[in-house]
Amino acid sequence: MSAEKQGVKELIRREYQQGFVTDIQTDTLPPGLDEGVVRAISAKKQEPDWMLDWRLAAFRHWSEQTEPEWASVHHAPIDYQSISYYAAPSARPGPASLDEVDPKLLETYAKLGIPLEEQKALAGVAVDAVFDSVSVATTFKKKLAEAGVIFCAISEAVREHPELVKQYLGSVVSYRDNFFASLNAAVFSDGTFVYVPKGVRCPMELSTYFRINSANTGQFERTLIIAEEGSHVSYLEGCTAPMRDENQLHAAVVELVALDDARIKYSTVQNWYPGDEQGRGGIYNFVTKRGDCRGARSHISWTQVETGSAITWKYPSCILRGDGAVGEFYSVAVTKGRQQADTGTKMIHIGRNTRSTIVSKGISAGHGSNAYRGLVRITPKAENARNHTQCDSLLIGDRSAAHTFPYIEVRNPSAKMEHEATTSKIGDDQLFYCRSRGLSEEDAVSMIVNGFCKEVFKELPMEFAAEAQKLLSVSLEGAVG
Amino acid sequence: MLTVKDLRVSVDEQPILNGLNLEVGEGEVHAIMGPNGSGKSSFAHVLAGREGYTVTGGEVRFDDQDLLDLSVEERARKGLFLALQYPVELPGVSNLVFLRESLNAIRAARGEPALDAATFMKVVRDKAGQVNMSPELLKRSVNAGFSGGEKKRNEILQLALLEPRLAILDETDSGLDIDALRVVADGVNVLRSPQRAFILVTHYQRLLDYVEPDYVHVLSGGRIVRSGDKSLALELERRGYGWIAGEAAA
Amino acid sequence: MNAMLEPVERYRRLIDAVAPSLPGDDAGWLTSQRARATEHFVRQGFPTRKDEAWRYTSLERVLEQVWAPNAEPGLQPATADIAAFHLAKDAVARLVFINGRCLPGLSSLSGLPAGVQLGSLHSALEQQPERLAPWLGQAAQAGVSSFTALNTALIDDGAWVHIAVGTKLAGPVELLYLTTGPGTVAAHPRNLVVLEDGAEATVVEHYASLDDTACFTNSLTEVLLGAGAQLEHARLQDESAAARHISNVFVQQGHSSHYRAVGVSVGGLWSRSEYHNRMQQTQASCEIDGLYIAGDAQLTDVHLDIGHAVPACTSRERFKGILLGRGRAVFDGRIRVEVDAQKTDAQLANDNLMLSRDAEVDTKPQLEIFADDVKCSHGTTVGQLEPEQLFYLRSRGIGADDARRMLCLGFATEVLQACSVDGFRARVETRLQQRLAAGAVMGNSGE
């Protein structure tokens, strides 16, 4: 056993593989946040007045709020005045055509496994690359435009499609929603905008790759996806950051709107820098994600694989407004080292015959702490609402922690609601069985954990499921002990 | 006793039965066979009054009454009994209480007085003995934690106790080992009488080795496509269902 | 917060007023315990819905009026009147409390074996307060909640049960708490149940009303179990429709001890019961089953706080609720497994039957786990009667209403069968039948 433990220790020190820094000149706002900063960001984006007014309203609201404390996470106070709210590779504002993109950026993304040149790209996947505060490239725009799909940086959408942005921005997550959503509304610098017109099945997977590069900056992106009647879209985001000793703040907002019979599948593979084994550095990932199933029989599905970040605080939710709407949440969250995650979902049943499914798999290793927090609310008019929730936690190591905090509120007797949760460690008999068949302990754990997460992985778009499995294995290497 | 005329039934607007005709007289044993999805079980459940089936046409008469007009419990009280393929578990509801409530409800409908506790116990013990059921199972919650065989035995016990005029056995033989199958078959044979008719819904003719039917019908596509005597069952066993469906389509 | 200040001040004055009349005021440990509790209560005030433990439960009904503690009963019931409340036929001892005061005339304590001390806490504190010093207040840390602090500040009367090493009681001890007018009445009974190593007992607590007077009961029971001790603890809250009731049970378990509880709440306008279990020595186990029935205008609230502090303990909690009319139910169950409490095996279940359009259920089962070698689970359901089950019963000739009643009773029976006291189970079943008959049990669609 001691030889194994030794091996384990070495593996725990295994470096975060995406922790490099791109040496590139940036245009950065000095640290600090006041109205002037909000105006400066808006000006850099050449935004119309209505956008600036909205930001300022959000900023004023944020200034009166205090940070929420209810989550099962602990961190030193965040000094919002020491963060820079805007950093962009200095080249030219706005997305350029690919041949105009700084080769260093192309190289960065290639190194991360995300080639931006369309001929090298993963077949069938369009990418919006967001580097620090701005979108640096968006691929396959032309092909998507042929199908009528708008896929661009949100800053571009504000200028090019103001009527859509005006109609939908903040309609799902208002700038008053919570502390971090208010902050985001005030200072968001970029993000992705997707519009899928009526009846269109988006011809390819859409994805955004978020990269934080600069030190002392926060990333505040905002994503808005609108699926008109009968349309389908599948979207995936990935995120990484360099290894730095300071914590960095990432406070994003994602809004999804699905109209009648529309279907949005939103997948996340989150691999922000988690900090070192002592808990130094890493990203604070405080994110508000919400989908509004506005139309009848609309369908929103969230799938997330969360392996990174020092702290994760996010609850991708569904408001099931339309009759027959369906909401789903599939989550794998891994915490090791000193990582903390407080994640889950809210399913708000408003329409008749609405259904929701929640599958949450938490894995805590080392000193990691993992909490599932979820709300299922069946409002009085939600006839025949159905919910099934399954939350399982797997513990690896006697200093890890796993918590489950479900809130279930039922106001309609025709509802049928089932919630199950289990917590256990990997069975000794399972390990023994695998090892007696010749597997190493590492491989056995990896195999068992992958099995544990299978229900969630099968929800990921095929191109990414294998990626997620690999990521999980890497992130668990050395976690056995 | 039972007359089914041109019965048409759908579930969620999908037609399941498409003009089914059947005549069952007193004391007769009919076997209804057919491939999976042919509508056999649906037919059994429609007769018992299960919700979720929409009768879109035809009629069913039971002793000159419109059966389809009666509630589930009224049908039971008139003497119709459905033994389920998957008997339902009722956690916390004592099997004895269940059997007594049920028997007394049916006796009341027949104009008979309720049995007092002592008489009921004697009757139920006797019947349990007849179907080889352990008295221990009487004290437990209805079907909760019963094995597959025990559940089926409990169904046959109810059949013996409630003494229906028409008993429908919905795939009661499925999933049984040979001993349990014998119990079911013996139960039916013992309870066979000139006043009591049976409809045996089954996929295989295995049960028919033990219970000899008067008539065998083949259900396919929601209609009875062929009727005969027990030799039809043997032919089906030999040749499968394909040839009949083919013939029916032709 | 400000809205809550006034009641706190009212209670502070009340504590000051009754303090001189409380028993055991010459025992320093007790007076300082009361003083600490008072201080804590005043500092903390009453909880509001911003407190996580009170998120779904408003205290408005409790704080809207002044409840006078230990009010003299308007009438003294006769022994014959009390008999109707008895649950355990084979009780070895009975204590009867009216408006929080023990009435020896109605109680029967004869025939207890040697090694059993049983009686009024008030008398014990007057006669031999030092005897209680090792235990009183040990399980219920005053810091826990305002109502616990308030009860401790007002410690006056209740039941005092002490079972010596290895002593086993032949039948249940029955404790009956009655309230009666005139006027509004408050009772803060404080019970202390101590089972020394290897002792075994059954204790029944029964809360009921002699009339429809609005009353407020704030009861607190401390249970301390020695090594290998076994307690069966059955509790029934069957108070009048105007009653406000909060009860806190604190259990401290020694090595290999076993605590088995059945808690039933059927009465009251506003009722909350809390169980706080601490398994402090290895191999301890607890099983808590409960049933709540909430009908028109009733709120019923259950909080469980099950603490596994040491390795190799087992806990099983199963609560079921039946909601009728405009009934509201809140369930908040927490299992907490501390660092190093390895080999913990804990399961929590909460199932709710919603039988009316206007009922509401809020349920929150929680697991907080800081050890890895554990098996923990919780499950929750909210729903109606199963259509398949109704169909099955009806297909055997049983009428729809009877079928529904049978299924409801079956649902409750699964919990009640954990109780060994026949009379207790029978009383709850009767209450349930009455409640189901009173409010027609809602059918499924189309009926």
> What is the number of domains present in chain B?
1
Closest chain C residue to the Cα of B161, Cα to Cα: C396
pLDDT band at A132 (very low <50, low <70, confident <90, very high): confident
Token output for C249: 């049970």
Residue A12's pLDDT is what?
37
Q: Where do the H-state alpha helices sit in C287-419?
A: 387-394, 400-416
Q: Which of C56, C361, C374 sits opposite A423 (nearest CB)?
A: C374
Q: Domain with B217 in it: what CATH number?
A: 3.40.50.300
Lowest mean pLDDT among A282-296, A387-401, C4-18, C226-240: C4-18
Give the containing element (helix H, strand E) for B239: helix B230-239
Domain span at residue B216 reads 2-88+164-249
Q: What is the chain A residue with the closest CA to C332?
A: A407
Report the pLDDT value the prediction gives residue B250, as an integer from 0 to 100.
Answer: 47
Residue A6 has pLDDT above 50, yes or no: no
Q: What is the pLDDT of residues A311-323, one digit of tens each?
A: 999 999 999 999 9
- Neighbour count for residue B54 (Cβ, 10 Å): 14
Cβ atoms C274, C301 nearer than 8 A: no
ipTM confidence: 0.89
Q: How far is C419 from chain B (nearest CA, A)?
A: 14
Interval A364-412: pLDDT, tens: 988 999 999 999 999 999 999 999 999 999 998 888 999 999 999 999 9
- Tell me the pLDDT of chain B averaged across its residues: 90
pLDDT of residue C161: 97
Question: Per-residue confidence at C439, pLDDT binned at 50, 70, 90?
Answer: low
Residue-level pLDDT at A2: 38
Tell me which chain C residues have a C-beta less than 8 angstroms from the C-beta of A68. none
List chain C residues with CB under 8 Å of B88: 386, 388-389, 391-392
Residue whose pair of structure tokens reads 């027959």 in the numeric block: A324
pLDDT given at position B248: 56
Res C245: pLDDT: 97
Query: With contacts defined as CB-CB under 8 Å, which chain C residues touch B82?
Result: 395
* pLDDT for position C184: 83
Residue C384 in contact with partner chain B when CB distance is under 8 A: no
Q: What are the tens digits of pLDDT across the range C270-294?
A: 999 999 999 999 999 999 999 999 9
Q: Is C143 on the interface with B (CB under 8 A)?
A: no
- The pLDDT, as a whole number, for residue A1 is 34
Q: Which of A21-35, A274-288, C66-80, C87-101 has the highest mean pLDDT?
A: C87-101
C388 interfacial to chain B (CB closer than 8 Å): yes
**pLDDT, mean of residues A190-219:** 88
Q: Is the pLDDT of residue C3 over 60?
A: no
Higher pLDDT among residues A441 and A328, named by residue: A328
Does C402 contact chain B (CB < 8 Å)? yes
SS (H, E, C) chain A: CHHHHHHHHHHHCCCCCCCCCCCCCEEECCCCCCHHHHHHHHHHCCCCHHHHHHHHHHHHHHHCCCCCCCCCCCCCCCCCCCCECCEEECCCCCCCCHHHCCHHHHHHHHHCCCCCCCCCCCCCEEEEEEECCEEEEECCHHHHHHCCCEEEEHHHHHHHCHHHHHHHCCCCCCCCCCHHHHHHHHHCCECEEEEECCCCECCCEEEEEEECCCCCECECEEEEEEECCCCEEEEEEEEECCCCCCEEEECCEEEEEECCCCEEEEEEEECCCCCCCCCCCEEEEEEEEEEEECCCCCEEEEEEEECCCCEEEECCEEEECCCCCEEEEEEEEEECCCCEEEEEEEEEECCCCCEEEEEEEEEEECCCEEEEEEEEEECCCCCCCEEEEEEEEEEECCCCEEEEEEEEEECCCCCEEEEEEEEEECCHHHHHHHHHCCCCHHHHHHHHHHHHCHHHHCCCCHHHHHHHHHHHHHHHCCCCC
More confident residue, A271 or A170: A170
Q: What is the pTM of this model?
A: 0.88
* Cα–Cα distances in angstroms (integers) from residue C271 to residues C57, C176, C227, C265, C439, in the given order: 10, 17, 33, 8, 20
Q: Do B105 and C394 touch (CB under 8 A)?
A: no
- Report which residue type is found at A213: N
List beta partners, residue A207.
A127, A236
- Residue C299 C-alpha, separation from nearest chain A C-alpha, in angstroms: 14
What is the distance between the alpha carbons of residues C46 and C147, in angstroms, rounded to a whole number?
A: 8
Question: pLDDT exceeding 90 applies to what percent of chain A?
Answer: 51
Residues 114-143 of B with CB under 8 A from C: 141
Q: What is the pLDDT of residue C132?
A: 95
User: How confident is the model over A401-425, as a mean pLDDT?
Assistant: 94
The CA–CA distances, whole Å, from A297 to A19, A300, A383 equal 43, 10, 14
Q: Do B73 and C397 make contact, defined as CB atoms within 8 angstroms?
A: yes
Of B51, B76, B162, the CB nearest to C387: B51
The pLDDT assigned to C182 comes to 82
Question: Closest to B90 (Cβ–Cβ): which among C402, C407, C446?
Answer: C407
pLDDT per position as a tens digit, C151-173:
999 999 999 999 999 999 999 99
Q: Which of B50, B51, B158 sits opposite C396 (nearest CB)?
A: B158
Nearest-CA distance A113 → chain C (Å): 36
Asked if C411 lies within 8 A of B102 by C-beta distance, the reply is no
The rounded mean pLDDT for chain C is 92
Instruction: Report whether pLDDT(C441) > 70.
Output: no
Burial class for C137, CB neighbours closer than 10 Å (0-12, 13-18, 19+): buried
Q: Of C18 and A119, which is predicted with more confidence?
A: C18
Q: Which of residues 24-63 of C touch A (CB under 8 A)?
A: 52, 56
**Over residues C64-83, mean pLDDT:** 80
What pLDDT is stored for residue A87 in this prediction? 86
Helix (H, G, I), strand (E, B) or coil at C51: coil
Greater pLDDT, A24 or C341: C341
pLDDT tens digits for range C15-67 = 999 988 899 888 889 999 999 999 999 999 999 998 999 999 999 999 988 78
pLDDT tens per residue, range A334-365: 998 899 999 999 999 999 999 999 999 999 98
The span from the CA of A49 to the CA of C193, in Å, is: 72
In a domain, B115, yes or no: no
In a domain, B50, yes or no: yes
Q: With 80 as the cut, is the pLDDT of residue A120 above it?
A: no
Which pLDDT value is given to residue A168? 97
The alpha carbon of A98 is separated from its chain's Cα centroid by a whole number of angstroms, namely: 26
Separation of alpha carbons A55 and A38, rounded Å: 7
Average pLDDT over residues B70-80: 93
Instruction: Determine the longest span between alpha carbons in chain A, in angstroms.
Output: 68
* CB neighbour list of residue A414: distance below 8 Å, 6 or more residues apart: A383, A384, A385, C384, C445
- Which residues of chain A have a CB within 8 Å of the CB of C323? 413
The pLDDT confidence band at residue A7, using thresholds 50, 70 and 90, is very low
